[in-house]
A and B are shown apart, each in its own frame.
Chain A
Amino acid sequence: MTRIRLVASVVLLALATSLAAPVGAPAQSAPIKIGFLAPLTGPFAQIGKDMVNGNQLYLAEIGGQVAGRKIEVLVEDDEGNPATALNKSRKLVEQDKISILTGGMLANVGYALQPYIDAQKIPTTYPVIAADDITQRKPAKWIVRTGWSTSQPMHPFADWVLKNTKYRKIAAIGMDYAFGYEIIGGFQQVFEEGGGQIVQRIWAPLNTNDFAPFLAQLRRDADAVLALFTGRLALQFVKQYEEAGLKGKLPLLGGGTITDETVLPQMGDEALGLITALHYSQALDNPANAKFSRAFEASAGKIASYYSEATYTNARWIVEAIKAVGGKAEDRDALLAALRRVDLKESARGPLKVDDFGNPIQNIYIRKVERVGGKLQNTVIATYPGVSQFWKYKPDEYMKRPLYGRDYPPCKYCQ
């Protein structure tokens, strides 16, 4: 018995002393520490890697320093798990004394960190987390989104469909979770206000293995189908859609992730002609993007996607803000204000600035899958410049409506 007590006490003391190791006070000349969260294990590890690579690429381009100070990035694996992300944030903020927190991929991680970030008053950017309400009904003072909000591309997409096609009755199928609801909901809102009708809404579980039963349900009298899937499900859905003989009969539209560059290289002719909307395309023709996508492909050995573009541009955004405060990254109020003032005239995804709620006002691109030089790409066929997350609505009126959800907007034309 005594032996155990002894062992236990020793272990505990050893732990305690190693934890209590002193943390040096940050000096002006010391590196600026950026805490970076990404899912590096689990199902999203590939995307997490793209995120890390995009961030490193930009920092390498500027020689890893800004305003005379070195930048040190502390990468932590959040496992795509909110509790883990919270733990890692605590470590980064309280132990490593970072000046800026960034990264994160999943919506629930975004929501989970919000109260902590505001309580700690730590300047934070979300390059990938897109859940609408983070910059709408539940905005956090200390978070600036440098990526996009989920429904942001879908409002103009509906506008484009109304103006450029004859599709007025659309059947929608999406993944059964918040991201799916916000994509389909954003489209439905604008589409139905413009006279269109969503005549069917199908929510497919995230663990769907076979789409045949869902494809069989799809209404054949619709003018087109709007689909939202990501990753494995995107690949499988598009493939099965063609196999079911639907491709020629019901034109396919999609949320941007269904053909994003993490899945497009693995698709074949079944994806040709698919029209989607997003704030980025690897095929986007501008000098900043040409430079980025070439450099990314050379360093990472794979094609750039909106994930890597997000963290690349996000790193640039942070660097611009640090420049604006003259390298005094420890002045949190000033740094936050600078992050909210950033105005990039030409980024890889076009011009960027921030709205009052901390979300970028940016171009939305309508893209069509084409084969160019033997490879599939998202060719931009239309550009909506300077789109706000609120589209053309007034923010306060917009936010009086509920968040797009499984049952909102109500499906009044579904039978």
Chain B
Amino acid sequence: MIGVGALVAAAAVAPTLPSYPLTLLTQVAIMAILAMSLDILLGYTGLPSLGHAAYFGTAAYAVGILATERQAGFLTCLVAGVLLATAAAALFGLVAIRATGTYFLMITLALGMVVWGLAFRWVSLTKGDNGIAGVPRPDLALPWSLAAPLPFFYFALVAAALAWAALGTLARSPFGLTLQGIRESETRMRALGYDVWLHKYLAFVISGGFAGFAGVLWAWYNGFVSPVDVQLVTSVETLLMVALGGPGTLAGPALGAAVIVFLKNFVSVYTKRWLLILGAVYIGVILFAPRGVLGALRAPRR
């Protein structure tokens, strides 16, 4: 409900916005996809991944390399990016899913560092810390070039809407209920006859795939890919978006993404102490709305 309202409102006001706020809204749309993908793990399955930037970044690098070195177009970049991210998640999931709680956090962190290390050190492929610049936006053979801010915003918005619809369907499906069951009680799920490992693994892979989708858009949006995109800070920020907005609700992480993108870009204009303010907001949310902003709105204190 809120999501549809927000999407329609965003689409309606976009043409009246100057280009800078528009690019920020575009960023919100992309980050919302990333945050929602993580929410499938964190909010629905109860798996706090600290390595989500790995799949996001893998896809971004795939696009960066293919688009600059092979002049790959829209479909190749999209498919390759999402597939590679999914494959990375499928591989890492084999290692990570055995762990639970803090150990899961640590192992996903470590795996994320592996990808960061590759991005940083595999210089012949990734250009190391210099990053890959000049990644062109795709040509969709539309009357509008995606190089301009407004068409690209609509492009990102449609992508976010599609991702939201897909993840929403997943969340409401029998499979989505299974994931929530795992979040609530693994032992009971096993006793009922669920292969808990398999369902967690599937959630992990699907989540990685959607993170990859966001990564593809990110590479096009920035026109640039660097190890920063796969580093820990990016994973942590994504986790915070989910926690801030409300895990277990897809609109929550999207809202969290909006809050963080705007906080980062507006508060920092007025004060150099913006990190402090961001920190205060996080602490405030943890203390007063542990289920996120949306969680607090939905269920007033009894």
Contact = CB atoms under 8 A, between A and B. Distances in A.
Given a CB threshold of 8 Å, the question of whether A touches B is answered with yes
Interface of A: 1, 3-5, 7-9, 12-13, 15-16, 19-20, 23, 40-41, 76-77, 81-84, 86-88, 90-91, 94-95, 107-108, 111-112, 114-116, 119, 131, 133, 138, 176-178, 405-406
Most chain B beta carbons < 10 A, residue from A77, A90, A176, A405: A90
B17 A108 contact: no
A12 B10 contact: yes
B222 A112 contact: yes
Given A5-B1, A82-B226, A95-B20, A405 B134 contact: no
B136 to A, nearest CB: 9
B262 to A, nearest CB: 7
A8 B227 CA distance: 35
A232 to B, nearest CB: 17
Most chain A beta carbons < 10 A, residue from B130, B269, B298: B130
Contact of A87 (B2, B223, B265): B265
Given A4-B297, A108-B228, A115-B133, A77 B120 contact: no
Contacts of B6: 8-9, 12
27 contacts: A4-B294, A5-B1, A8-B2, A8-B5, A16-B16, A16-B17, A16-B21, A19-B17, A20-B13, A77-B268, A82-B226, A83-B222, A83-B226, A83-B229, A87-B23, A87-B27, A91-B269, A94-B23, A107-B129, A111-B224, A115-B133, A115-B134, A138-B133, A176-B121, A177-B120, A178-B123, A178-B130
Contact of A112 (B120, B226, B265): B226
Given A91-B269, A95-B20, A176-B121, A111 B131 contact: yes
Given A177-B128, A178-B123, 18 more contacts: A12-B9, A19-B21, A20-B17, A23-B18, A41-B272, A41-B275, A76-B268, A82-B224, A86-B224, A87-B27, A88-B265, A90-B19, A91-B20, A111-B130, A112-B226, A131-B130, A177-B120, A177-B129
Nearest to A87: B265
B24 interface: yes
Q: Which 5 A-B pairs have the closest CB atoms?
A: A19-B21, A95-B20, A94-B20, A112-B224, A111-B133
Contacts of B272: 40-41, 77
A5 B129 contact: no
B210 to A, nearest CB: 20
A10 B70 CA distance: 46
B140 interface: no
Contacts of B165: none
Contacts of B123: 178, 405-406
A108 B119 CA distance: 13
Nearest to B136: A115
A105 to B, nearest CB: 13
Contact of B5 (A3, A9, A115): A9
A3 B5 CA distance: 12
B5 A94 contact: no
B75 to A, nearest CB: 23
A108 B226 contact: yes
B94 interface: no
A107 B134 contact: no
B264 to A, nearest CB: 8
B228 A83 contact: yes
**Majority DSSP secondary structure for residues of B touching A:** helix
A20 B228 contact: no
B134 A81 contact: no
A108 B130 contact: yes
Interface in B225-254: 226-229, 233
B99 interface: no
Interface string B1-36: 110011001100100111111011001000000000
B223 to A, nearest CB: 5
A133 B127 CA distance: 12
Given A8-B6, A23-B18, A112 B128 contact: no
A3 B129 contact: no
A108 B64 CA distance: 14
Given A8-B6, A16-B13, A41-B275, A112 B19 contact: no
A95 B24 CA distance: 12
A339 B21 CA distance: 30
A15 B5 contact: no
A176 B227 CA distance: 14
Contacts of A4: 1-2, 294, 297-298
B147 interface: yes
Contacts of A107: 129-130
Contacts of A16: 9, 13, 16-17, 21
A357 to B, nearest CB: 17
A19 B18 contact: yes
Contacts of A87: 23-24, 27, 265
A119 B18 CA distance: 17
Contacts of B10: 12
Interface in B185-212: none
Given A20-B16, A95-B18, A116-B223, A7 B297 contact: yes
B223 A115 contact: yes
A114 B13 CA distance: 30
Given A15-B262, A41-B275, A20 B223 contact: no
A406 B226 CA distance: 17
Contacts of A95: 18, 20-21
B187 to A, nearest CB: 34
Interface in B255-276: 255, 262, 264-265, 268-269, 272, 274-275
A91 B22 CA distance: 10
Contacts of B2: 4-5, 8
B294 to A, nearest CB: 7
A26 to B, nearest CB: 15
A369 B47 CA distance: 55
Interface string B170-184: 000000000000000
Given A40-B272, A91-B265, A95-B18, A108 B147 contact: no
A86 B222 contact: yes
A17 to B, nearest CB: 9
Contacts of B121: 176
Most chain A beta carbons < 10 A, residue from B13, B21, B121: B21
